[in-house]
A and B are shown apart, each in its own frame.
Chain A
Amino acid sequence: MAPRTLLRRLHNTWGQVGAGLLEFYSAPYRRTFARAQRDEEDLFMMLVLSEALGVPNPASYYTVELLPVVYDRFHDWHRRMGLERSPLDNISCC
């Protein structure tokens, strides 16, 4: 076998071992991380929408620009917060 082919094969095998190890490392905790990320995003959503929800927000000048970004995720968020319908008149997602 040519040295270059051998090297390529070794490189591929090493890559597969790495991918397998990564799966072995990360899979048992995927759900935990996904939940933690969701919780952080929920908090972020609340900060962005705080003024609209009646909570004074000193950073509203900046966060208002983020409203279009979070709009798509708003429906899932208010459902997770236990609100069957959108609590904001200006965002009537459902």
Chain B
Amino acid sequence: MNSVVLALVGVTMMILGYFLYSRFLGRRIYKLQESFVTPAHELNDGVDYVPTNKFVLWGHHFTSVAGAAPIVGPAIAVIWGWLPAFLWVTIGTVFFAGAHDLGSLWASARHKGKSIGSLSGQYIGPRGRNLFLVIIFLVLLMVNAAFAVVISGLLTSTPTAVIPTWGAIVVALFIGQAIYRYKWNLPTVSVIGVVALYALILVGDRFPVILPETILGLSANSFWIVVLFLYAGVASVLPVWMLLQPRDYINGLQLFIALGILYGAVIISSPSLVAPAFNDAVPEGTPGIVPLLFVTIACGAISGFHGIVSSGTSSKQLDKETDARFVGYFGAVGEGLLALGAIIATTAGFRTIAEWEQVYSAFGQGGVGAFVEGGGAIVNSGLGIPAGLSATILATMAVLFAATTMDTGIRLQRFVVQEAASIIGVNLNKMVATVIVLAIAMGLTFGAGADGAGGMLIWPLFGTTNQLLAGLTLSMVAVILLRKGRPVTPILVPLVFLLVMSVYALIVQMGQFYAAENWLLLGLDVIILVAAVWVIFESAIAMSRAKKNPPELEDDERRRTSARTRS
């Protein structure tokens, strides 16, 4: 099959999802109103609550939710064939992620921009809120551990990406200084930054940095992991204007450029899919497609992390409530397009099926390395950019995604550790808290072996935890809808499906970890399973309570009632 057909079918499904299904959700389920005074106007403080143009807000939202996960997940999951991954990404985006992201944005905007955590406390109860904190802690922990391994793997397999990866830090430092210290004009700085980044890619392609097999007693892979953790620790304690902010920005620009390059190359070269639609001959040790497919691809199909971004920042900046459709639902579509690009790169970027099978020789193999290799071949034949340089561009893109998420993840987790310590009366300064975060993440990464294998082993666990987070958000949205006496089927179906698949996957993985005598991951699995059962229990109680209670007044009715009471 031709990959352009796949791309066209996928893009059409997602675009139709936006024009038709999101309109249905917006009109019938969430009842978005242009006249509703959003928190950005009601509580405008010029800091958190600021009415923002919907295109700019979509840009923020999309670049905040897009990381390495929608590349890594599909790139691993195509081991079962391209069709299951394609179906889960497209159907998941249209009916699961869109409803989830739009729902969390709507729920938060209708509650003064409160976060999903606070809303869980209000609608599901204090236990729901505690559960939310536990799950978010685990998601961040796994992101930090897994992404360090993803990056180190890319730096080892694509040594041409080493110079642009570390050079991007210098570019970001330059942008930070140019804007805040020298007050340069931002569009000019942006052009210089992007040109500098691509110049570094050219330099890196010319001068690959290959480390010796062992450095300071560590393998090259382990060495990069340690360096990355040290770097992320330093980055997370530096003032944000210096590194994190310009890095996020240049990474956002790079995201749009790289997506354009990849899709442009697919359209021009129109390569055929060499991987089978369904892979009947999966390598030995590959787990069953059900339920693992649905947790291996989390971001790109449905991701709980999006709910955090929706309710954390995006909901506070909605200019009009009806913009939620574009920002929330179309944000999910953007993520789906990234995942679709990863599926095409990893299944159409190889010349023969034998070559593909060689890369996908075991579960967990392939992954982001296959995305770089396959995507590089497509960009090469489509745009005529040399194969090595194309691979370097894609590897740099993937590394920048993962590194930016890691920087932010370590910083956010430092806040969680400081907050947890303050609850028991211990005041941790940011250095000590950062060291604790790094020690835990490194323990997890190296816990399954000196080569850092733990980071990738926990990938499906990351997916499960992320899906649980999405389940918690969906259950909260369902409770709010039930309280308002509105239809909940479009929310209940994804909710039940996600929870069933997550629990099933956890049980399957538990058996695998037990058989491999991997006690660290087994322990983590048990914690997540308890959290999953707890989510189901709490959600069921909250929904049954919401159904029994008399319906809550609609917001406009409530306003009219309170105005009458006042007068």
Q: Contact residues of A with B, CB < 8 Å?
A: 14, 17-18, 20-34, 36
Contacting residue for A34 out of B47, B52, B60, CB 8 A = B47
> What are the residues of chain B within 8 A of A27 when measuring CB–CB?
50, 52, 56, 60, 313, 317
Contact B313 A28 (CB under 8 A): yes
**Chain B, 374-409, CB within 8 A of any chain A CB:** none
Check if B159 is an interface residue, CB within 8 A of chain A: no
12 more contacts with CB within 8 A, not counting A18-B185, A24-B59, A25-B245, are A14-B187, A17-B187, A20-B55, A21-B186, A23-B52, A24-B252, A25-B246, A27-B50, A27-B60, A31-B48, A33-B241, A34-B47
* A60, B307: Cα distance in complex, Å: 50
Supposing A18-B187, A20-B55, A20-B56 touch, asked if A28 and B248 sit within 8 A by C-beta, the answer is yes
**Chain B, 6-32, CB within 8 A of any chain A CB:** none
Contact B187 A24 (CB under 8 A): no
* A32, B60: Cα distance in complex, Å: 16
Contact B187 A28 (CB under 8 A): no
Contact B249 A24 (CB under 8 A): yes
Contact B240 A32 (CB under 8 A): yes
> What are the residues of chain B within 8 A of A26 when measuring CB–CB?
245
Check if B156 is an interface residue, CB within 8 A of chain A: no
Supposing A29-B241, A33-B241, A34-B47 touch, asked if A22 and B186 sit within 8 A by C-beta, the answer is yes
* A84, B445: Cα distance in complex, Å: 46
Interface residues on B, range: 20 to 34
> What are the residues of chain B within 8 A of A17 when measuring CB–CB?
187
- Measured CB to CB, the closest approach of chain A to B465, in angstroms, equals 24
* A29, B246: Cα distance in complex, Å: 10
Contact B185 A25 (CB under 8 A): no
- Measured CB to CB, the closest approach of chain A to B434, in angstroms, equals 16
Check if B190 is an interface residue, CB within 8 A of chain A: yes
* A24, B59: Cα distance in complex, Å: 7
> What are the residues of chain A within 8 A of B246 when measuring CB–CB?
25
* Sampled A-B contacts (17; CB under 8 Å): A18-B185, A18-B187, A21-B186, A23-B53, A24-B252, A25-B245, A27-B50, A27-B56, A27-B60, A28-B64, A28-B248, A29-B241, A30-B48, A30-B50, A32-B240, A33-B240, A36-B239
**Chain B, 35-90, CB within 8 A of any chain A CB:** 46-48, 50, 52-53, 55-56, 59-60, 64
* A62, B347: Cα distance in complex, Å: 71
* A25, B253: Cα distance in complex, Å: 10
Supposing A20-B55, A23-B53, A25-B179 touch, asked if A30 and B185 sit within 8 A by C-beta, the answer is no
Q: Kindly name the residue among B59, B186, B190 whose own CB sees the greatest number of chain A CB atoms within 10 A.
A: B186
* A27, B228: Cα distance in complex, Å: 27
> What are the residues of chain A within 8 A of B248 when measuring CB–CB?
28
* A21, B185: Cα distance in complex, Å: 10
- Measured CB to CB, the closest approach of chain B to A63, in angstroms, equals 26
* A67, B96: Cα distance in complex, Å: 57
Q: Contact residues of B with A, CB < 8 Å?
A: 46-48, 50, 52-53, 55-56, 59-60, 64, 179, 185-187, 190, 239-241, 244-246, 248-249, 252, 313, 317
* Closest chain B residue to A15, Cβ basis: B187
* A32, B240: Cα distance in complex, Å: 8
**Chain A binding surface, main DSSP class:** helix
Contact A21 B52 (CB under 8 A): no
- Measured CB to CB, the closest approach of chain B to A75, in angstroms, equals 18
* A32, B244: Cα distance in complex, Å: 11
- Measured CB to CB, the closest approach of chain A to B349, in angstroms, equals 31
> What are the residues of chain A within 8 A of B317 when measuring CB–CB?
27
> What are the residues of chain B within 8 A of A25 when measuring CB–CB?
179, 186, 245-246, 249
Contact A21 B53 (CB under 8 A): no
Top 4 closest pairs, chain A to chain B, by CB: A34-B47, A23-B56, A29-B245, A18-B187
* A32, B241: Cα distance in complex, Å: 9
* A21, B253: Cα distance in complex, Å: 10
Contacting residue for B53 out of A18, A20, A33, CB 8 A = A20
* Closest chain B residue to A26, Cβ basis: B245
Contacting residue for B240 out of A14, A22, A29, CB 8 A = A29
* A72, B179: Cα distance in complex, Å: 32
- Measured CB to CB, the closest approach of chain B to A31, in angstroms, equals 5
Contact B48 A24 (CB under 8 A): no
* Closest chain A residue to B190, Cβ basis: A21
* Closest chain B residue to A36, Cβ basis: B239
* Closest chain A residue to B246, Cβ basis: A25
- Measured CB to CB, the closest approach of chain A to B322, in angstroms, equals 20
* A36, B252: Cα distance in complex, Å: 24
* A21, B76: Cα distance in complex, Å: 35
> What are the residues of chain A within 8 A of B252 when measuring CB–CB?
24
- Measured CB to CB, the closest approach of chain A to B318, in angstroms, equals 13
Contact A18 B60 (CB under 8 A): no
> What are the residues of chain B within 8 A of A20 when measuring CB–CB?
53, 55-56
> What are the residues of chain B within 8 A of A28 when measuring CB–CB?
60, 64, 245, 248, 313
- Measured CB to CB, the closest approach of chain B to A73, in angstroms, equals 16
* A30, B49: Cα distance in complex, Å: 10
* A28, B404: Cα distance in complex, Å: 14
> What are the residues of chain A within 8 A of B59 when measuring CB–CB?
24
> What are the residues of chain A within 8 A of B47 when measuring CB–CB?
30-31, 34
- Measured CB to CB, the closest approach of chain A to B410, in angstroms, equals 15
> What are the residues of chain A within 8 A of B52 when measuring CB–CB?
23, 27
Contacting residue for B56 out of A14, A24, A31, A32, CB 8 A = A24
- Measured CB to CB, the closest approach of chain A to B324, in angstroms, equals 17
- Measured CB to CB, the closest approach of chain A to B257, in angstroms, equals 14
* A36, B47: Cα distance in complex, Å: 12
* A17, B60: Cα distance in complex, Å: 15
* Closest chain B residue to A34, Cβ basis: B47
> What are the residues of chain A within 8 A of B240 when measuring CB–CB?
29, 32-33
- Measured CB to CB, the closest approach of chain B to A33, in angstroms, equals 7
- Measured CB to CB, the closest approach of chain B to A25, in angstroms, equals 5
* A20, B248: Cα distance in complex, Å: 16
